[in-house]
Chains A and B, each alone.
Chain A
Amino acid sequence: MQFMLLFSRQGKLRLQKWYVPLSDKEKKKITRELVQTVLARKPKMCSFLEWRDLKIVYKRYASLYFCCAIEDQDNELITLEIIHRYVELLDKYFGSVCELDIIFNFEKAYFILDEFLLGGEVQETSKKNVLKAIEQADLLQEC
């Protein structure tokens, strides 16, 4: 995976994770273009997009768009499931997650993402294990 973006229906970026080294300028350009393109698509349309030489896989959950960029030979459907699994993890962690949870606790959302995906690859697919790792870290912090 090359990068993951979370943005709202209004086009506000909520989370960004880049797995390839890019300059800030490029990142901004890509984000702007992608947000525009994805928001312009109708709900019945395909969840995949060809964009430059990348494949964009996106899915909307309530008012939030989750959007991943993968390479051409990667599997689009499993990427959709990656998004879904991430949402499940957030959901489990926050307890029926909503956009606000992510806005106000975005660092937590990042921590969860880092336990699930590392360096652009799936690190741990067991939901239990991911949450265990997060909880462990959270717990230690409290004391």
Chain B
Amino acid sequence: MSDIVEKTLTALPGLFLQNQPAGGPAAAKASFSSRLGGLIRGITALTSKHEEEKLIQQELSNLKATVSAPTTTLKMMKECMVRLIYCEMLGYDASFGYIHAIKLAQQGNLLEKRVGYLAVSLFLHENHELLLLLVNTVVKDLQSTNLVEVCMALTIVSQIFPREMIPAVLPLIEDKLQHSKEIIRRKAVLALYKFHLIAPNQVQHIHIKFRKALCDRDVGVMAASLHIYVRMIKENSSGYKDLTGSFVTILKQVVGGKLPVDFNYHSVPAPWLQIQLLRILGLLGKDDQRTSELMYDVLDESLRRAELNHNVTYAILFECVHTIYSIYPKSELLEKAAKCIGKFVLSPKINLKYLGLKALTYVIQQDPALALQHQMTIIECLDHPDPIIKRETLELLYRISNAQNIRVIVQKMLEYLHQSKEEYIIVNLVGKIAELAEKYAPDNAWFIQTMNAVFSVGGDVMHPDIPNNFLRLLAEGFDDETEDQQLRLYAVQSYLTLLDMENVFYPQRFLQVMSWVLGEYSYLLDKQTPEEVINKLYKLLINDSVSSETKTWLIAAVTKLTPQAHSSNIVERVIQEFTISLDTCMRQHAFELKHLHENVELMKSLLPVDKSCEDMVVDASLSFLDGFVAEGLSQGVAPYKPHHQRQEEKLSQEKVLRFTYLALSFSSSGFTGRQSPAGISLGSDISGNSAETGLKETNSLKLEGIKKLWGKEGYLPKKESKTGEETEALPIPQESIMENVDQAKTKKDQCQVLTQSKEEKEKQLLASSLFVGLGSESTINLLGKADNVSHKFRRKSKIKETKSGETAHSHSMTCSSVSSLSNVSYDEDYYLNTLQDRGDKELKKFSLSLELLDSEPLTELPLVEKLSNCNLSAPSLFADNDMEIFHPPQSTAVSVAKEMSLASSFLEETTECIHSNLMEVCNNETISVFSYKIWKDDCLLMVWSITNKSGLELKSANLEIFPAENFKITEQLGCCLPVMEAEGTKTFQYSVQMEKPFTEENLSGFINYQMMDTHSVQMEFSINLSLLDFIRPLKISTEDFGKLWLSFANDVKQNVKMSESQATLPSALKTLQQKLRLHVVEIIGNEGLLACQLLPSIPCLLHCRVHADLLALWFRSSCSTLPDYLLHQCQKVVEGS
């Protein structure tokens, strides 16, 4: 064909000439098409890009004039559109024509309309605002009696349509599903598919119609409906299991050649249809044996039928293999599929080889032996000239990596990495290498060197988690302290060597890692003094190619090393140079260093050696500034209000309440202490190092220390699994494989054999080092994905857990304690002085207030736990509320009524929960029904226990609860008992949820049973439930409280007079906590914050403030009625007692 093209190209000018002199009615047409032709010819004739640009700009300005001229006919407009499309395709902006394209679609005859629609579909995207103008045209055309118009409208709808306008056309398109022409039905199905993609909710109601389309008598319509099914089944496979049979039948018919010959493609019956169906079956049969069993036969048949040696049969085979491996396994099929994969892998056709590798990659976890079978091919592919094949091979190796083959695999990956230039590949590969290195590193030196390679290549494009995880790993270490120290020492030494090299540039991220490690762990060095290290850092500091962010890391490292240094010349030089830096951040750090340097003792205590993981106690409330603040206030300075508070006050115009707690949670400067000169000091665990307080973060206090998140497991000092080249014996003899692969070759030429075998030997060696650990004897650690392999640096899983919390603080590593200093200080000089002057005094005060908080029982009363833990029958806090604590079953049996003992089997489950007293709800001569409530954390559990007092068996005892609109009741255990023994007890449990808030409500039901041979007896009972049964404490931090508070719209305020016995805030809160189960979040001065939730999860917040004997209550919740009800309850308890 290329020949033809070349020929035609040369004949091109002639062709155009021929076109021109045509006459008559064809003349107009010819002149139009030749205009496009002229344009194209003009462009092809040009040689430079510049000329082309000039020509097209000119063309565009002509077009612009033509399209906006009123005299332009639609016919001309159509021609203009075609040229505009052409110009856009060449990369020039033709947006002035968009509106005309829409007009053309609207006004033109069929011919013009078609071009108009085409232009619209090419010019606009589905979010384009002009698209709205098309909606009317589409609606009109959908209603047209002309089939072609309807088709065009459906075509455009299936390509681009504004989501918000779907309702305008949806009914019309639904109608089209019943159209007599199959082409219309087919296009309508595809339009609905499009809607399903962009707005699934809008087409939910027509799912039933999709089923009809699936059964359509026309194959095309049925095939179109499969697109929707693939999508829907992917989202929720369980909803479509009933269709499995139909899909299997369809596939059987297709494979059996029952479709019209039209649908054959190179004598393969409807391959597209087959592939869609196979994909659907794969999704349906996943992890579902019963469904999978339905499809084994047809899969077998598909495999058998696809025997033609044509691309399209391979496409079907590939999909078939994929399906077989995704569904519930059947060994026979797996065998056949494995054979199939072999065909792919060994194929000389490169496309098939690639797919073979791809298939291996995803089946490898299920069937590692398959990789062994093809190991020689895999080795060959590693050196394949096509980088795509190479990359897929590496992906495969990545999946089979384990502790034994890690060195070779990572080496191969690094080789590839060094050749790659594309950023996407680098980021991807670097991440994988880092993951493997952390997981399987055989020793320290290897680990550090690999990570060095990762950092130097991955540099500034790699995922920021990689350096962060690495540093965390170093800092936190493992179980073995000496091992940790060696790793750190090795890192320090290797970085110093790297920095010694001249004229080598490292990525900024790598430098940052280096500076942190050097700052923290240089003390481990024997030979080099801190001065030498500082000197190296200094060299980097004055290097212009180092970014200012990296420089802050560097200066932080210098700061950390300064207290260890004996002479300080170099430090003084740093101070001198950077206190006049133009970069304010640098200058600040330099000043900090300067001040610290002047006070060595303070510096040493602030920057302790090897304490990066220890928690540091920081007086974050800045209570030492209280004096200063008081002084200011007395001189008439307005008290500081944080931004949020100011805004809030402005909004609400409410002057009575002050949101002191908001200051705690939002303050961006941390001056909370000032407002309440009483000084509430808060100890926060700002862990000094991998600290939560990022440079760019606000100073919100994060109370959880990092230590808790990071356990110490994960290090298994498995030295014996050291590998090198010594390898385990492979289960399959190498020779035999080689013979298989190279049989023909080796027989041909003896001479070649010698050289080749040498080559082969190398490959064999490589193979043995790669596939070690894959043999049958070690299949347990399937490719290292199982956890029993020595995970030297196993951190990944945890990293994921904490990722969300910590990635944001990636900068925090920077300056450790220095940053925490600069965070809280707003006036360094003042701060430092105060720190010095008041240090001791404040510390005392601080610890005092800490004690105060400790001794104050209200600060944190984990009521439930405490209660359940206390086995002494100390006066129960719930005693006055008809509650008591569950002790282990034995003791319950003693303390509670006798009837309960028989229910002990049940009680075992519910011990540790608070429950109410047993209450008799109804009885007669034969049975008594008792009931009690168990206030579980996530629901209210109602238990009815029925005791048979008679000596006779009861038949079909049954308990039912009448449905009530306010509750949602779920049965916990089987409720109908066929027979109930004499003197027996049975319990029924229901979990009850509240649908909408109320104060009190009755829950009633009945019990019926049958005595031996007599009539059945029915008894009704009812029980009272109150709102409080559904209230649980909501344990949140002050910060979360602040956030929630602002997000809730429903609020209720009320002042309540407190009874005299509890006219203080603590006692009022105590009452609320005990009686209403509110959680006390925080007490600030005379204000208190409480939080609770209505089950299942409607939060409600309460802010209280005491004025003399008045308690101002302020509720906020996401539910509009809840605050009212709660207020009512609060009123009762506060005023009542």
- Residues on A close to B: CB < 8 A? 12-19, 21-24, 28, 42, 44-53, 61-63, 75-78, 80-82, 85, 96, 98-100, 103-104, 106-107, 110-111, 114, 118-119, 121-129, 133, 136-137, 140-141
Contacts and interface: CB of A to CB of B under 8 A. Distances in A.
Nearest to B115: A107
A129 B265 CA distance: 13
8 contacts: A50-B391, A51-B424, A77-B318, A98-B1, A114-B155, A123-B220, A129-B220, A137-B148
B4 A62 contact: yes
Contacts of A140: 110, 146, 148
Given A46-B350, A63-B2, A81-B315, A16 B190 contact: no
A133 B151 contact: yes
Given A46-B389, A123-B220, A125-B265, 15 more contacts: A15-B89, A49-B388, A51-B424, A75-B275, A77-B314, A78-B312, A80-B311, A107-B115, A119-B159, A121-B224, A122-B223, A123-B224, A126-B220, A136-B147, A140-B146
Interface in B29-47: 33, 36-37, 40
A95 B622 CA distance: 85
Contact of A77 (B37, B311, B350): B311
Nearest to A91: B1
B509 interface: no
A141 B75 CA distance: 12
B9 interface: yes
B541 interface: no
Contacts of B424: 51-53
B183 interface: yes
B384 to A, nearest CB: 9
B255 to A, nearest CB: 15
Nearest to B263: A126
A121 B227 contact: yes
Contacts, number: 172
Nearest to A72: B358
A81 B85 CA distance: 27
Contacts of B386: 44-46
A141 B111 contact: yes
Contacts of A121: 190, 193, 224, 227
A19 B158 CA distance: 10
A69 to B, nearest CB: 14
Contacts of A100: 5, 8-9, 12
B271 interface: yes
A22 B186 CA distance: 27
Contacts of B270: 125
Nearest to B112: A141
B263 A125 contact: yes
B265 A62 contact: no
B315 A77 contact: yes
Given A47-B351, A81-B312, A118-B158, A75 B89 contact: no
A101 B1091 CA distance: 74
A137 B351 contact: no
Most buried by B among A111, A121, A123, A137: A121
Interface stretch (B119-127, B446-454, B856-864): B119-127
Specify the main secondary structure of chain A where it touches its partner: mixed
Contact of A118 (B125, B155, B425): B155
Contacts of A18: 125
A41 B804 CA distance: 41
Contacts of B90: 12-13
Contacts of B538: none
A46 B2 CA distance: 21
A46 B125 contact: no
A139 to B, nearest CB: 9
Interface in B130-184: 146-148, 151-152, 155, 158-160, 183
B190 A48 contact: no
Contacts of A81: 265, 271, 311-312, 315
B8 A119 contact: no
Nearest to A23: B125
Given A81-B271, A104-B37, A119 B194 contact: yes
A41 to B, nearest CB: 8
Which 7 pairs, one residue from A and one from B, show the smallest C-beta to C-beta distance?
A: A77-B315, A62-B1, A62-B2, A21-B125, A126-B262, A78-B315, A141-B111
A77 B351 contact: yes
A50 B391 CA distance: 9
Interface in B48-95: 82, 85-86, 89-91, 93
Given A75-B319, A119-B190, A141-B111, A45 B118 contact: no
Contact of A111 (B118, B159, B272): B118
Contacts of A126: 219-220, 260, 262-263
B159 A78 contact: no
A63 B1 CA distance: 8
Contacts of B388: 45-46, 48-50
Contacts of A24: 93
A74 B517 CA distance: 45
A99 B351 contact: no
A137 B146 CA distance: 11
B274 to A, nearest CB: 9
B355 interface: yes
Most buried by A among B1, B314, B386: B1
A44 B350 contact: yes
B354 interface: yes
A27 B197 CA distance: 21
B114 interface: yes
A85 B86 CA distance: 24
A24 B158 CA distance: 21
Contacts of A47: 351
Nearest to B113: A141
A104 B34 CA distance: 9
A46 B347 CA distance: 13
Interface string B308-332: 0001101100110000000000000
A116 to B, nearest CB: 11
A52 B86 CA distance: 28
Interface string B844-883: 0000000000000000000000000000000000000000
B220 A76 contact: no
Contacts of B413: none
A75 B386 CA distance: 20
Given A62-B2, A62-B5, A119-B190, A48 B110 contact: no
Contacts of A23: 125
B537 interface: no
Given A107-B82, A127-B262, A63 B5 contact: yes
B275 A137 contact: no
Nearest to A87: B1
Contacts of B148: 136-137, 140
B813 to A, nearest CB: 30
A46 to B, nearest CB: 5
B193 A119 contact: yes
Contacts of A104: 33, 36-37, 40
Contacts of A49: 388
B350 A118 contact: no
A48 B425 CA distance: 15
Nearest to A100: B8
A28 B5 contact: no
Contacts of A98: 1, 4-5, 8
A110 B86 CA distance: 12
B326 to A, nearest CB: 11
A76 B40 CA distance: 34
B187 interface: yes
B425 to A, nearest CB: 8
Nearest to B278: A75
Interface string B211-252: 000000001100110010000000000000000000000000
B323 to A, nearest CB: 11
A44 B33 CA distance: 39
A134 B260 CA distance: 20
B273 interface: yes
Contacts of A141: 110-111, 114
